[in-house]
Amino acid sequence: MNSVSPTTAQYVGVVMQDELLESQRQQRMERQSSLGLRPPQTPDPSREAPGEPDEMDKLKAKLMSAWNNVKYGWTVKSKTSFNKISPVTVMGHCFLLNSEDEVERFRLAFVSRIWLTYRKDFPQLEGSTWTTDCGWGCMLRSGQMLLAQGLLVHLMPKDWAWPDAQQLTDVDFEVFRPRSPVRAGGVPIPSFSSPRGSNTPEKTLPSDHGLKCSQRKRPESARDRQAESIHHKLITWFGDQPSAPFGVHQLVEIGKSSGKKAGDWYGPSVVAHILRKAVARASVVQNLAVYVAQDCTVYKDDVVHLCDTSPKKTPPDPLSQAWKSVIILVPVRLGGEALNPSYIECVKNILKLDCCIGIIGGKPKHSLFFIGFQDEQLLYLDPHYCQNVVDVTQGNFSPESFHCTSPKKMPFSRMDPSCTIGFYAQNKKDFESLCSAVSVALSSSKEKYPIFTFVEGKGQDYGLDSQSTNHSGPAAHILPLGQWCRSNNRSNSDEFVFL
């Protein structure tokens, strides 16, 4: 189906409005001139209130908001097929969907991830007229999901699953018995009922199905109640209110220091630095730091300096050393204009690790949060769905819209080469294990140069501001020199253009 791009719609609308305003202005001047009146003086832009959007900015924001709210406010439900032979990897956990129990484990693991999407009708972003992030905030939302996964690992019990996920019957996917591990076909095993809000009648389930579900549901213990309280609190931190420490309002405000503003598009590298600053500013999360790698290199001494909180005057004691947990974000580029296929196996091995908390990236012009894979298909959460704002300041708000019930896949070949990979280490021992395990995964690449490296020593702190410039830094060692020179002709190699 043919569609009109938001950019085209914006351009046509603005041009028409410009012509109308100019015509009205000329008519007023002609009338005033005939009456001998002085035309009104053009206001001095320097006298306007700082940070206040002009009329044209307001018009553009309204046009774009109206367009994007319609464009992303509906979705066509389609079931994603998974085969029974090949394992599915989700956040370091492996599921072989050849039994109902394994399918249920996969369902709970997927639905329990925090899903953050476009929202509309939230409080106006400061210095703009935007009350929605539809059409421009998808990378910020993907970054939020990456951080939310890190916080789940940091705060929740290791085996935690969202209790209400067990009551949902509209999880949208099918499992097939394929003719080959990479080609779905044959007869599906029973899937999870009809999509929410559809007219499709629910499938008749065996009479003992309800009994099995109740048996699987964990008892309401003090531990469960505490975990669910943390789960609700965590979601409030990503609420669409100015006070939320990791909400869009705060992230946009932090992005201003890099020359970004509401309505701009963000690259995965810039978002990594925004998340780092957001966590550093927040008082709601204790004992957690974010480290952003430089030049595809994780400098171990910098991580130690960031996380080691033991007194500096006393000799270090490995057994009693005070240590902050750390989220490590590594912006990388996996090719020139397109993904280098040699890195696919390496990305798979990274996603298999327990310490990996996902990848923010996407396909061209479309940001996504990658959480796993099956065969040659990436599994992802998609922020491109516009939902009404939820007032998370109300204690009884429903978290259902923050959990996705429709797993989606896409081929590795469509993955945009610009992305940021996330890892989590709870303590120093975990960090050392992370370095070792990730280095092994990186060595699986067929390319001469690894995606990124771990090295001893310290690196120069470039900070967030440098990410907003056109300077792309030293030639990244993930590409042969010829390819890098060709790709470096782009104005900013880590930026997407989102529509």
What single letter denotes the amino acid at residue 319? L
What single letter denotes the amino acid at residue 457? G
Query: For residue 37, what are the CA distances in angstroms to 42, 431, 477?
Result: 15, 76, 69
Q: Could you tell me the strand order of the sheet in which 188-189 lies?
A: 80-83, 173-176, 188-189
Query: For residue 343, what are the CA distances in angstroms to 108, 253, 470?
Result: 30, 35, 26
Catalytic member of 133, 240, 302, 382? 382
Residue showing tokens 């639905």: 111
Catalytic member of 273, 366, 384, 403? 384
For residue 25, give both structure tokens. Answer: 């202005």
Q: Which value, in Å, is the radius of gyration of the alpha carbons in the chain?
A: 25
Q: Are 405 and 395 in contact (CB under 8 A)?
A: no
Q: Are 331 and 266 in contact (CB under 8 A)?
A: no
**End-to-end alpha-carbon separation of the chain, Å?**
17
Instruction: Give the three-class secondary structure for 465.
Output: helix
Question: Any idea what the Cα angle at residue 158 is, between residues 238 and 309, rounded to 5°?
Answer: 75
Q: Smallest Cα–Cα separation from 422: which of 329, 292, 297, 288? A: 329
Distance CA 156, CA 227 (A): 6
Q: Is 384 a catalytic residue?
A: yes
Residue showing tokens 């609420």: 239
Q: Is 477 a catalytic residue?
A: no
Rounded-to-10 torsion of CA 467, 471, 476, 478: 70
Catalytic member of 134, 138, 307, 404? 138
Distance CA 178, CA 92 (A): 24
Instruction: Give the three-class secondary structure for 12.
Output: helix
Helices 138-155 and 268-281 meet at what angle, rounded to 10? 50
Label residue 191 left, alpha or beta by phi (over 0 means left) and psi (-120 to 50 means alpha). Answer: beta
What single letter denotes the amino acid at residue 454? F
Label residue 463 left, alpha or beta by phi (over 0 means left) and psi (-120 to 50 means alpha). Answer: left
Label residue 11 left, alpha or beta by phi (over 0 means left) and psi (-120 to 50 means alpha). Answer: alpha
Active site residues: 138, 382, 384
